[in-house]
Amino acid sequence: MHIVIIGNGVAGITAARTLRKLSDHRITVISGESKYFFSRTALMYIYMGHLTFEQTKPYEDWFWEKNRINLVHDHASSINTGAKQIALQSGEMISYDKLIIATGSRPRTFGWKGQDLRGVQGLYSLQDLQTMIDRTNHAKRAVIVGGGLIGVETAEMLYSRKIPTTFLVRETRYWNTVLPDEEAAMITAHIREHSTIDLRTNTELREILDDGNGAVRGIITSTGEEIPCDFVALTVGVEPNIDVVRSSAIPTGRGVLVNEYFEAEVPDVYAAGDCAEMRFADTSQPSRIEPLWYAARAHGERIAKNICGERQSYKRATFFNSAKFFDIEYQTYGTVSAQLKNGEDTIVWQDADGKRLLRIIFAKDVTKRVLGFNVMGIRYRQNVCTGWIERGASVEEVLHNLGAANFDPEFFPQCEQFLVEEYNRKTAQNLVLKRKRGLSSVLA
């Protein structure tokens, strides 16, 4: 059986590697972005000079031939599901028995006047990175539009080259549609500590200005202010990259529509990662796209197992994500919303200099079961935190054993006691932090 995968990101490559572990099927991976799989999350470090492209490749180049995974460096132009063929930009046709679409995301735009000018771009692909390197080599001033994770990464990249940057965020604080007030205020203040970054909240983009030769010369904000610049980064989120599917018989919504087995509505076609939109047998549940690296990896593994006969529906794992806001590392586990939901309570501690924060969300009911964690400036163990959530551990049990979650207690000051003290003040309890940091008890 010949299995063809379009896309060599984490979803597609995890599928390929898992297929090879489980079977002797013929495997072909098509990608017009790069010949070899690389770590997309490391693109910013290439720009900043911390890594070379070669250092972002998790596997040696010989790995693919040794494992009989055929890599085709070409752009997939169209899919003929009746003939089970993929047309490539080079003119070649590739036939498949089963097809996995793992084409990822692309930067979202909103039809702004001037968004196609030279010097205006998103940041997602390897090609986007190269374009940014070329266009900012002699940039005098930049503007970033959008306050998500890609926005703050772009800000750090430009800061590393000392390019004065105006950062437009439409919210009252950075990312406060996702982060609770304390975290949003903390990161907003941290961004503003960086001298070449001018963070503007409550401000949106109205128009991008043409210099008369097809390049950007500035922008106009929603307040009517004109800001001169020669580079604009559009970082207002991503959307599924499904252009290759649109002219085919494969049904799409926001992404490629699939069921809980990642099967499209056309036989022998699957989709995974950012481009997949999952619809559920329980039609009361809304369809879902999971644009996360961790989810894409799980998608790829599950598809491969389904194709190889281990057919199971996809069960979303306890949510977790990690990121970095300049010098502040961030992890989130479980359910932590910008605003508390009905039936939720929280306990939060933040240090005086605004560089570390711990938050636990827990149920208000008698169980006091833990629902989520936000961790900033400290590293916590994912398996410990998600294990507590999945087991329904109470907040008091978790606080008592919180030291077990700390990833590197030998090298960083311990903050767990401060959160315990905050809980005791809030509840008039006398809870004591267990000093032993062994994992056996909390993972049992």
3-state secondary structure of 241: coil
Q: How far apart are CA 215 and CA 131, in angstroms?
A: 14
Crossing angle of helices 149-160 and 181-192, in 10° steps, is 20
Instruction: Say if residues 40 and 33 touch (Cβ distance below 8 Å).
Output: no
Instruction: Say if residues 395 and 360 touch (Cβ distance below 8 Å).
Output: yes
Q: How far apart are CA 73 and CA 86, in angstroms?
A: 14
Say what the pLDDT of residue 411 is.
67
Q: How far apart are CA 36 and CA 63, in angstroms?
A: 10
Say what the pLDDT of residue 440 is.
39
Largest CA-CA distance found in the chain, in angstroms, rounded: 72
Say what the pLDDT of residue 443 is.
41
Q: How far apart are CA 111 and CA 119, in angstroms?
A: 16
- Please give the chain's pLDDT, 444 residues, in tens: 999 999 999 999 999 999 999 999 999 999 999 999 999 999 999 999 999 999 999 999 999 999 999 999 999 999 999 999 999 999 999 999 999 999 999 999 999 999 999 999 999 999 999 999 999 999 999 999 998 899 999 999 999 999 999 999 999 999 999 999 999 999 999 999 999 999 999 999 999 999 999 999 999 999 999 999 999 999 999 999 999 999 999 999 999 999 999 999 999 999 999 999 999 888 788 999 999 999 999 999 999 999 999 999 999 999 999 999 999 999 999 999 999 999 999 999 999 999 999 999 999 999 999 999 999 999 999 999 999 999 999 999 999 999 999 987 666 668 899 999 999 999 988 888 875 444 434 443
Instruction: Measure Cα distances from 410 to 349, 403, 407, 416, 434 in Å.
Output: 21, 11, 9, 14, 16
* Full-model pTM: 0.92
Q: Which domains does the chain have, with CATH numbers?
A: 2-106+239-307 (3.50.50.60), 120-236 (3.50.50.60), 320-443 (3.30.390.30)
* CA 253 from centroid of its chain's CA atoms: 21
Q: How far apart are CA 185 and CA 247, in angstroms?
A: 45
Environment class of residue 102 by beta-carbon count within 10 Å: exposed (0-12), middle (13-18) or buried (19+)? buried
Say what the pLDDT of residue 442 is.
43
Say what the pLDDT of residue 435 is.
59
Instruction: Measure Cα distances from 200 to 113, 181, 222, 324 in Å.
Output: 21, 17, 11, 20
Instruction: Say if residues 10 and 276 touch (Cβ distance below 8 Å).
Output: no
Say what the pLDDT of residue 441 is.
41
Q: DSSP class of residue 24? A: -
Q: How far apart are CA 403 and CA 414, in angstroms?
A: 8
Say what the pLDDT of residue 294 is.
93
Environment class of residue 309 by beta-carbon count within 10 Å: exposed (0-12), middle (13-18) or buried (19+)? exposed
Torsions phi, psi for 299 (to 5 deg): -60, -50
- Helix then strand count (H, E) for the chain reads 12, 25
Closest by CA to 108, choosing from 150, 65, 62, 169, is: 150
Q: What is the DSSP string of 92-149?
A: -EEE-SEEEE---EEE-----BTTTSBTEE---SHHHHHHHHHHHTT-S-EEEE--SH
Instruction: Say if residues 213 and 114 touch (Cβ distance below 8 Å).
Output: no
Report the amino acid identity of residue 233: A
Say what the pLDDT of residue 48 is.
97
